[in-house]
């Protein structure tokens, strides 16, 4: 039951970064509703925070991949390309 709830909460969060305070609020609400016991509180908080961090990392990786692919498709110069050209310009100025 709790695992299903965790999945639902995390899916609802999407790309939003969750704070420890928000997780504590959620868990305290579950305790009030009788879905968790006070003894399960700290483990539930740790589990939710860990899962949220994992999800945030996965989202960041996906976004980075999408941006990298978009830049490649647009054939934009990379930072290395620009630095290489700047070095050539500097060398030509010295001549």
- Domain boundary assignment for the chain: 2-94
Structure tokens at 71: 């830049």
Tokens 């976004």 — which residue?
Answer: 63
pTM of the model: 0.57
At residue 9, the pLDDT reads 60
- Residue 35: CB partners within 8 Å, gap ≥ 6? 1, 2, 5
Digit-by-digit pLDDT tens for the chain (95 residues) are 445 555 556 565 554 567 888 889 989 998 999 988 999 999 999 998 888 888 888 887 888 888 888 878 888 888 899 999 999 999 999 98
Structure tokens at 55: 């999800």
């Amino acid at each position: 039951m709790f695992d299903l709830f965790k999945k639902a909460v995390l899916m609802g969060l999407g790309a939003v970064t969750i704070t420890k305070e928000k997780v504590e609020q959620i868990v305290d609400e579950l305790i009030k509703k009788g879905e968790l016991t006070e003894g399960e509180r700290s483990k539930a908080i740790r589990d939710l925070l860990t899962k949220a961090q994992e999800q945030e990392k996965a989202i960041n990786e996906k976004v980075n991949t999408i941006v990298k692919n978009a830049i490649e498709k647009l054939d934009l110069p990379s930072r290395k390309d620009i630095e290489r050209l700047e070095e050539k310009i500097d060398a030509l100025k010295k001549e």
